[in-house]
Structure 1
Amino acid sequence: MSTDATTSKPSVLSTLAKELPFDFLKNITDQFSRERILEEGSYGVTYKGIVPDGEVIAVKKLAENGPIPQHKAFQNEVMNIMKASHKNIVKLVGYCHEVHKRVLEEDGSYYIADIVESLICYEYLPERSLHGNLFGHTSVGWSTRFKIIKGICDGLRFMHRIPIVHMDLKPENIWLDHNMLAKIANFGLSRLFGQDQTRLNTQNVVGSYGYIAPEYLDKGEISKQSDMYSLGLLMIEITTIEKNSPDRKEPSARIYIDKIRREWTPEHIASKYSSLDAECLQEVRTCIQIGLECVHIDPKKKAFHRNNC
């Protein structure tokens, strides 16, 4: 049980159940104020919540009309994060699922409807998303980026042993703590497999353009290899700091991948990273090589099968 160091009293959150009241979350986010927004996405808005004793958490308010039904996203997030307790996976603090009566107006008529409020609370990660750190105004050195890559790989390896497939790995869904420790977040699309199950198929293909594996896009096939494709793109982005810009005409990023394969030669790497020693240069070359193996068009040739990550 966590305590306040000055008073030795239990923290407010430690005295509450995992299921948190909606009004409590509304109050600690200052009525879901825009000034408290940490992240906005298609699945919801994440706010900075400040508990009365000063503890800070992240409060995600799920969207009513997200890419998948709200109740499904809520179930995926809560159940799968609770199963995946690891230093490189964001920690669940609590959740809320409440139904409220609300008076709505449509075409001049008023009616009462049940509104479902679904919220999920996580540990607060002050450095926020990998996307902001990679492509923002700050510069992240190679040693830190290599540490981030290894952290993502460790977290994903742990998930796949459960097995949970994330299905939405991208820089926006990797969050960083004050030590730049990478944590996989946002499990709204994640799938929990049976112990003897290696793949499943769906007709409802949902994901982030630029990171969708070809076999999932073309045939609705979901497996650990789906994550490996996205991981390869992540590794390439982190290593090259060249952004994989999502394109609705190229949801699997083939143009981006071909560009990296063509331009990031050993000579280009040595020129781009001229300040690095031989060992670090080899790390850069290896990360790009593994990344390109992960995004191979043939799933059977992806780096997953070679245990490179």
Structure 2
Amino acid sequence: MATGGNTVESKLPAELPLDFLKKITNDFSDERLLGTGAFGSVYKGILEDGGVIAVKRLGENSPVPSEKIFANEVQNMMVLKNENIVKMVGFCRETHKKLVTIGNRHINANITETVLCYEYFQKGSLDKHIFDESTTVDWEVRFKIIKGISKGLQFLHNLPRPLRHLGLKPQNILLDDNMAPKIADFGFSRIFDQGQTRMKTGSVVGTVGYMAPEYMYHGEISNRSDIYSLGLIILEITTREKNSSSTDQKHAREYIQGVTENWNLEQIMVKYPELDADGISQVENCIRIGLQCVDIDQESRPTINEIVNMLNS
């Protein structure tokens, strides 16, 4: 559960003034900085009653215009209520005058600040826990995380107007105090009309190592785009080995090939000596599901409903 989550939800209005957000983040100070990504920086916001929220200040140079991110995240996320989806608790979009220099001229320009506020999770993102050998995340917890992410994606894909996330990766999955996963960062997301199965885009953005090939090379978006990313995450959680490529699709395929060749029954028993037959079977199942999800042929990838059923079987 997020620190101060109930307090935040009950006391913060949906639309927040910029001055208030500056106050709770100490004017977006470096001491409150939680992390920086493609869209901007995230700060720890401390409320007067001790509650905490995550405050994402969108950067001017993000790969997607701030107004598009704002529309995606606010309009899409305010209505998303699911135990495996991060909850948005507030937002701000204010325009103010700022003195800027263009050539030799100084002019007052209109600058729009866009800030999005979410539940805060002290444990941070998934990538901080599944690869570090110094942390002990046992198989039972790993399996629970895989099932939770899959259920969150199932919720998104089965909405009346389905949502494709397009940014799934361990850095965009947060963990609560009980290690339950929460899908976050919807800046790249796309909403489909009911019955729509595909769309094309000329603007391909995201982390290359987790992108489905048909999306990266042809701009084709479908529910199978998210399935590919989910498959890589399942493999990373299960093998504890990182898909080290964020910039090269070729290296991502090499990672997948390595899992295919090396993670047989013998390898599983060596890496998970503490597991009984049921546990070994779960690991085998997750490897098999993950590899199906990252099939080059998108039509060969399972649907999210099939994945959840396989994980529960």
TM-score in terms of structure 1 length? 0.93
Task: Say whether the 8 Å CA contact 2:208–2:216 is kept in structure 1.
Answer: no
Deviation at 1:104, TM superposition (A): 1.1
Residues 252 and 120 from structure 1, CA distance in 2 versus in 1: closer, same or farther, beyond 3 angstroms? farther
Task: Say whether the 8 Å CA contact 1:214–1:252 is kept in structure 2.
Answer: no
Task: Say whether the 8 Å CA contact 1:209–1:252 is kept in structure 2.
Answer: no
Task: Say whether the 8 Å CA contact 1:237–1:243 is kept in structure 2.
Answer: yes
- Report the Cα distance in structure 2 between the residues aligned to 1:253 and 1:68, rounded to whole angstroms: 24
Residues 290 and 140 from structure 1, CA distance in 2 versus in 1: closer, same or farther, beyond 3 angstroms? same
Residue 85 (structure 2) aligns with:
89
Residues 249 and 100 from structure 1, CA distance in 2 versus in 1: closer, same or farther, beyond 3 angstroms? same
- Report the Cα distance in structure 1 between the residues aligned to 2:41 and 2:58, rounded to whole angstroms: 7
Identity %: 50
Task: Say whether the 8 Å CA contact 1:209–1:251 is kept in structure 2.
Answer: no
Residues 247 and 175 from structure 1, CA distance in 2 versus in 1: closer, same or farther, beyond 3 angstroms? closer
Of 239-248 and 135-144, the range deviating more from structure 2: 135-144
Deviation at 1:303, TM superposition (A): 1.9
Residue 249 (structure 1) aligns with:
248
Read off the aligned partner of 1:83 and give its amino acid letter.
Answer: V
- 5+ unaligned residues in a row in structure 1: which ranges? 5-9
Residue 206 (structure 2) aligns with:
207
Deviations 1:130-150 (A, max 9, x none): 011123442311111111111
Residue 311 (structure 2) aligns with:
none
Task: Say whether the 8 Å CA contact 1:212–1:251 is kept in structure 2.
Answer: no
Of 70-79 and 246-255, the range deviating more from structure 2: 246-255
- 5+ unaligned residues in a row in structure 2: which ranges? 309-313
- Report the Cα distance in structure 1 between the residues aligned to 2:8 and 2:116, rounded to whole angstroms: 17
Read off the aligned partner of 1:240 and give its amino acid letter.
Answer: T
Matched residue of 2:114: which SS?
strand
Residue 176 (structure 2) aligns with:
177
Deviation at 1:206, TM superposition (A): 1.0
- Report the Cα distance in structure 2 between the residues aligned to 1:249 and 1:290, rounded to whole angstroms: 23
Q: Does 1:119 align with 2:115?
A: yes
Residues 218 and 257 from structure 1, CA distance in 2 versus in 1: closer, same or farther, beyond 3 angstroms? same
Q: Does 1:239 align with 2:238?
A: yes
| Alignment partner of 2:62 out of 47, 54, 66 | 66
Matched residue of 1:47: which SS?
strand
Deviation at 1:13, TM superposition (A): 6.1
- Report the Cα distance in structure 2 between the residues aligned to 1:247 and 1:103, rounded to whole angstroms: 37
Matched residue of 2:249: which SS?
coil
Task: Say whether the 8 Å CA contact 1:98–1:116 is kept in structure 2.
Answer: yes
- Report the Cα distance in structure 2 between the residues aligned to 1:150 and 1:131, rounded to whole angstroms: 16
Deviation at 1:83, TM superposition (A): 2.6
Deviation at 1:107, TM superposition (A): 3.5
Task: Say whether the 8 Å CA contact 1:29–1:48 is kept in structure 2.
Answer: yes
- Report the Cα distance in structure 2 between the residues aligned to 1:306 and 1:123, rounded to whole angstroms: 27
Residue 145 (structure 1) aligns with:
142
Residues 12 and 129 from structure 1, CA distance in 2 versus in 1: closer, same or farther, beyond 3 angstroms? closer
User: What is the count of residue pairs matched by the alignment?
Assistant: 301
Residue 151 (structure 2) aligns with:
154
Residue 284 (structure 1) aligns with:
283
- Report the Cα distance in structure 2 between the residues aligned to 1:213 and 1:12, rounded to whole angstroms: 37
Deviation at 1:106, TM superposition (A): 3.4
Deviation at 1:65, TM superposition (A): 1.2
Matched residue of 1:253: which SS?
helix
| Higher RCO (CA-CA < 8 Å; seq separation 6+) | 2
- Report the Cα distance in structure 1 between the residues aligned to 2:191 and 2:76, rounded to whole angstroms: 7
Residue 7 (structure 1) aligns with:
none
- Report the Cα distance in structure 1 between the residues aligned to 2:53 and 2:196, rounded to whole angstroms: 35
Deviation at 1:105, TM superposition (A): 2.0
Residue 197 (structure 1) aligns with:
196
**RMSD between aligned residues:** 1.7
TM-score in terms of structure 2 length? 0.92
